C-alpha cells in the first residue's frame, strides 16, 4: 500500500509523539502530513512551525485523498467526529485508531461502511523511537494493511500484534507504563534529596540508573527475576531495600495499579459496546 498522504485527526501529546517519531525515522515526509483539530488554532500553529506539516481545522481538507488516517481524538468525541467524517471515509483508506476503549466495530458501525481499522496502543516514548505498541486488526483489515500498520509503529519502537480484546491489557501495561516509571523516578529523586543529595545530583543518578537497568534488562538473556536476585545479595543494602518494598506490599500495589488501569479501559469501552 502506497502512502502519499497521512491525516491526523486530533493533535494532542500522543499524536505529536508519533508524528515526531515518524518524521525522525523518515517513514513519512512533513509535506505528506496533515494535522487537524477543531478547537485549538494555536496548537496547530505550533505544530506547523515545529514540524513543517500542513495543518487545518477542516476535517474535509485533512481527509481529502488521505491514504492513512490516524484517529487521535478523545474517545468521548467518537460518535460526533465519525459522523462529521463519514462522507470522506473510503474502503481503500487505512484507519488507525489510538483511542482507548473504542472498539473497531463501533467505528465501523458509526461510519456505516466496511472500513479497514487497526486499533493501536502506543505510548509517548514514540517521540524518541522507543514506544512499546500493541496493535489489533479490525474485521476488514487485510494482511497487507496490518503489515503496513506494523511497519509504521516499528519506526517508533517495538510492536506486538494482539487480538482486539487484549488491547485494554496493553493500555494498562504499556500505554500507561511510562507514567509508572516516572512515578518511581520522582519518588527515588525525592528520597535522594531527603537524604542529602542536591536535586541535580539526585536526578542525574536516578535517570542513569533507570536507563542502565532498562538497557541491561533488554540486552541480557536473564529475566527480571534473575537480575534482581543477582543484585539483592542476602544481608546487603539492596536486599534491605527490597525487604522494605515487600513489607509495604509494593509488588501487590503494582499489580493493583495495572489492574485498575485495565479496569478503567474496560469501563471506557462499555458505552461503545452496547
Say which CATH number the domain at 220 has: 1.10.3730.10
- Both 109 and 198 in a single domain? no
- Both 158 and 186 in a single domain? no
At 183 the three-state DSSP class reads helix
Check the CA dihedral 50-56-57-59 and report its sign.
negative
| Domain presence at residue 272 | no
Tell the residue number behind the cell numbers 542513569, with chain if given. Answer: 208
> What is the structure's pLDDT at 3?
85
- Both 154 and 200 in a single domain? no
Residue 273 in this model has a pLDDT that exceeds 90: no
Residue-wise pLDDT for 196-237, tens only, equals 999 999 999 999 999 999 999 999 999 999 999 999 999 999
- What is the number of domains present in the chain? 2
- Both 185 and 50 in a single domain? no
Residue 239 in this model has a pLDDT that exceeds 90: yes
Binding residues: 9-14, 72-75
> What is the structure's pLDDT at 27?
87
In sequence order, which ranges of 112-198 are alpha helices (DSSP H)? 143-154, 167-170, 177-194
| Contacts within 8 Å (CB) and 24+ apart, 90-93 | 91/115, 91/116, 91/140, 92/67, 93/66, 93/67, 93/68, 93/69
Binding residues for NADP(+): 9-14, 72-75
**Domain span holding position 184:** 177-267
> What is the structure's pLDDT at 23?
92
Chosen domain end from 106, 139, 167:
167
- Both 200 and 125 in a single domain? no
> 1 and 144 in contact (C-beta within 8 Å)?
yes
Chosen domain end from 167, 201, 222:
167
Residue-wise pLDDT for 138-167, tens only, equals 999 999 999 999 999 998 999 999 999 999
- Both 65 and 189 in a single domain? no
CATH number of the domain at 50, please. Answer: 3.40.50.720
- Both 28 and 161 in a single domain? yes
- Both 107 and 12 in a single domain? yes
> What is the structure's pLDDT at 274?
64
> What is the structure's pLDDT at 39?
86
Chosen domain end from 102, 135, 167:
167
- Both 191 and 153 in a single domain? no
Over the chain, what is the mean pLDDT?
A: 94
Residue 112 in this model has a pLDDT that exceeds 80: yes
- Both 133 and 72 in a single domain? yes
> What is the structure's pLDDT at 194?
97
DSSP state of 98: -
Cα–Cα dist 121/81, whole Å = 20
- Both 150 and 17 in a single domain? yes
Cα–Cα dist 263/268, whole Å = 9
Amino acid at each position: 500500500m502506497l502512502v502519499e498522504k497521512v491525516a491526523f485527526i486530533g493533535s494532542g501529546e500522543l499524536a505529536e509523539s508519533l508524528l515526531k517519531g515518524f518524521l525522525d525515522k523518515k517513514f513519512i515526509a512533513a509535506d505528506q502530513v496533515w494535522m487537524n483539530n477543531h478547537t485549538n488554532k494555536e496548537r496547530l500553529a505550533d505544530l506547523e512551525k515545529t514540524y513543517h506539516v500542513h495543518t487545518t481545522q477542516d476535517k474535509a481538507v485533512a481527509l481529502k485523498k488521505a491514504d492513512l488516517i490516524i484517529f487521535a481524538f478523545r474517545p468521548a468525541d467518537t460518535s460526533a467526529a465519525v459522523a462529521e467524517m463519514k462522507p470522506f471515509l473510503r474502503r481503500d483508506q487505512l484507519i488507525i485508531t489510538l483511542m482507548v476503549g473504542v472498539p473497531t466495530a463501533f467505528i465501523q458501525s458509526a461510519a456505516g461502511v466496511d472500513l479497514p481499522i487497526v486499533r493501536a496502543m502506543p505510548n509517548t516514548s514514540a517521540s524518541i523511537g522507543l514506544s512499546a505498541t500493541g496493535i489489533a486488526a479490525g474485521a476488514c483489515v487485510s494482511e497487507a494493511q496490518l503489515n503496513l500498520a506494523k511497519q509504521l509503529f516499528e519506526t517508533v519502537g517495538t510492536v506486538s500484534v494482539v487480538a482486539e480484546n487484549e488491547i485494554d491489557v496493553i493500555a494498562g501495561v504499556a500505554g500507561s507504563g511510562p507514567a509508572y516509571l516516572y512515578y518511581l523516578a520522582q519518588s527515588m529523586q525525592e528520597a535522594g534529596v531527603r537524604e542529602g543529595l542536591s536535586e541535580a545530583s539526585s536526578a542525574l543518578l536516578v535517570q542513569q540508573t533507570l536507563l542502565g537497568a532498562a538497557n541491561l534488562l533488554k540486552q541480557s538473556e536473564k529475566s527480571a527475576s534473575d537480575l534482581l536476585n543477582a543484585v539483592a545479595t542476602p544481608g546487603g543494602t539492596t536486599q534491605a531495600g527490597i525487604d522494605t518494598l515487600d513489607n509495604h506490599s509494593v509488588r501487590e500495589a503494582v499489580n493493583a495499579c495495572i489492574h485498575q488501569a485495565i479496569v478503567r479501559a474496560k469501563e471506557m469501552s462499555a458505552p461503545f459496546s452496547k
